[in-house]
Amino acid sequence: MADHTHDPPPGGALLVPVGESVTLRQTVAYTMEIAAAEEISEVHFVSPVAWHDVGDVELAVRERTQSLLDRVSVWAEEDAPADAPTIHTAVIGAEEYLFSPDDYADILARYADERGIKRIIVDPEYSPGGNVPLLRPMEVALAVRGFDVIEAPASRPVRRSRLTRPGGIAQFGLLFGISFLFYQLLGGFVIVTGDSFDFFYELITGTITAGLVAGALYTVTLSNRIRLRTLGKQLLRLGLYVPYLVYEIIKSNILITTIILHPKLPIEPRMTRVRSAVWGGPALTTLGNSITLTPGTLTVRTEGQDLYVHSLFQSARDGVADGALERAVRFVFYGRRAAAIPTPRERGDYVELQGPNAESEPDAGAEADVESEPDAETEPVEEEPK
């Protein structure tokens, strides 16, 4: 895969992706056992990081990852045999958008290829990007890439089912609040406008209902850790986004109406693929749904960050390639600074899969005069393999 493949180290090397997991300690111990038994000369502990947040959270993630790696190397040295293998630790993937287990597998594979490593030991409880059901887990993705993947045998607590995740008081509280508000909304806010009987009646029934809903579902509904301040900001920005979206919908609705009613039906449907610069469930869903909502474009499929968009005519396609919605969604989820990003066309993340320009890589020369804004978080993603 990589051009500059080194020869494998003489005694062989092991790659161990690590991250927060309950069986991390056991995985390290198992790795060192293997290393001792087979006289492995190098062990690499690497921690892929995903910037699910940009800005102030980024530093915290970096520190947490570093301290995790420090801990791992201390453990590894504890377990190390007499003729200890060299232990390397690394943080990888800091400049990329990691979304699916496949993305993680990609950067791990790159790391391994550069160092000639063929064997990978995985921690059974560590599944980066694994929150998304329907995607194949990282182990499988790595095995597909031709690595010898071993799962560390770790006795572990009962495996959690995929649907539920540990939820805290914040999840419960938020869900309770939303349910309660919704209940009162449907009741027409009698709690405010009615007499005292109404007040108590609505209060009690509302509390019971919201309590039941939140109690039953708080581990299912809200999957990620909630930061109320971030959430509040995102909701505010969502409030700005909705009118913009409605405007876009109306504008393109009128366009599509003229096209449908046009006697010649001047359509040029085409499938395109956009690698979007948003990640994570809610943001990607918002982008995909927004693209679908604006007539003329339809999100057919998502694969990691790749959106397969079917478009009805050229101007709709240009809208996707120029990434106005993408920028707006980045604004909603990551803030104003993140919205300043080159368009998918400029990044080379936009490919037409049909029509005269089909499958050809975007022509860099044609776009060279377009100035792309420098932005640390938006390093161009590497070339698509053809």
Which chain residues interact with another protein by CB under 8 A? 185-186, 188-189, 246, 249-250, 253, 256-257, 260-261, 265, 267-271, 288-290, 292-301, 308, 310, 312, 354-355
**CB-nearer residue toward another protein: 288 or 304:** 288
**CB-nearer residue toward another protein: 48 or 288:** 288
CB of 333 to another protein, least distance (A): 17
**CB-nearer residue toward another protein: 80 or 271:** 271
CB of 267 to another protein, least distance (A): 7
With a CB cutoff of 8 Å and minimum separation 6, the contacts of 352 are 270, 271, 272, 317, 358, 359, 360
**Phi and psi based region of residue 304 (left: phi greater than 0; alpha: psi -120 to 50; beta: remaining):** left
CB of 300 to another protein, least distance (A): 4
CB of 270 to another protein, least distance (A): 7
CB of 194 to another protein, least distance (A): 11
In degrees rounded to 5, what are phi and psi of residue 30? -65, -40
Closest CA to 142 of 88, 90, 104: 104
CA distance 294 to 289: 9
CA distance 241 to 237: 6
With a CB cutoff of 8 Å and minimum separation 6, the contacts of 15 are 44, 46, 108, 111, 112, 115, 117, 119, 120, 121
Three-state DSSP state, 18: coil
CB of 299 to another protein, least distance (A): 5
**CB-nearer residue toward another protein: 150 or 353:** 353
In degrees rounded to 5, what are phi and psi of residue 150? -115, 135
**CB-nearer residue toward another protein: 45 or 183:** 183
125 and 21 Cβ atoms separated by less than 8 Å: yes
**CB-nearer residue toward another protein: 310 or 347:** 310
244: Cα separation from own chain's centroid: 25
DSSP state of 89: E
Residue 306, H or E segment: strand 306-311
CB of 238 to another protein, least distance (A): 12
Closest CA to 73 of 24, 139, 123: 24
**CB-nearer residue toward another protein: 265 or 364:** 265
**CB-nearer residue toward another protein: 170 or 191:** 191
**CB-nearer residue toward another protein: 5 or 258:** 258
CB of 363 to another protein, least distance (A): 21
Q: Strand pairing partners for 46?
A: 17, 90
- AA letter at 213: V
User: Cβ of 219: how many Cβ atoms within 10 Å?
Assistant: 18
Three-state DSSP state, 100: coil
**CB-nearer residue toward another protein: 133 or 166:** 133
CB of 257 to another protein, least distance (A): 5
Residue 14, H or E segment: strand 13-17
Residue 64, H or E segment: helix 56-79
Q: Strand pairing partners for 350?
A: 274
CB of 347 to another protein, least distance (A): 24
